């Protein structure tokens, strides 16, 4: 949803292009980590914890 036609409004609404690019990069890196390490997550709470950890 970051790459392609169906963009995400919460990212598209960021007016500053540098800030938007940084947020998109972080989202893509998180998605990559979720795909590569998917077997390490046994519950949605673990995914949420990983997202909160990356956000810090």
The CB-side HSE value for 9 (13 A sphere, CA atoms) comes to 0
Tokens of 14: 């960021």
Residue with the larger pLDDT of the pair 10 and 19: 19
For residue 8, pLDDT beyond 90: no
Q: Give the confidence band of 54 by pLDDT, cuts at 50, 70, 90.
A: confident
Q: Is the pTM of this model over 0.85?
A: no
- pLDDT value, residue 3: 66
The per-residue pLDDT for range 14-53, each reduced to its tens digit, is 999 999 999 989 999 999 999 999 999 999 999 999 999 9
**Residues 8 and 1: beta-carbon distance below 8 Å:** yes
- Work out the number of other CB atoms within 10 angstroms of the CB of residue 24: 17
């Amino acid at each position: 949803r970051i790459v392609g036609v169906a963009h995400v409004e919460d990212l598209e609404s960021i007016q500053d292009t540098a800030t938007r690019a940084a947020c998109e990069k972080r989202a893509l890196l998180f998605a990559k980590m979720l795909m590569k390490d998917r077997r390490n997550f046994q519950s949605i709470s673990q995914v949420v914890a990983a997202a909160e950890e990356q956000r810090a």
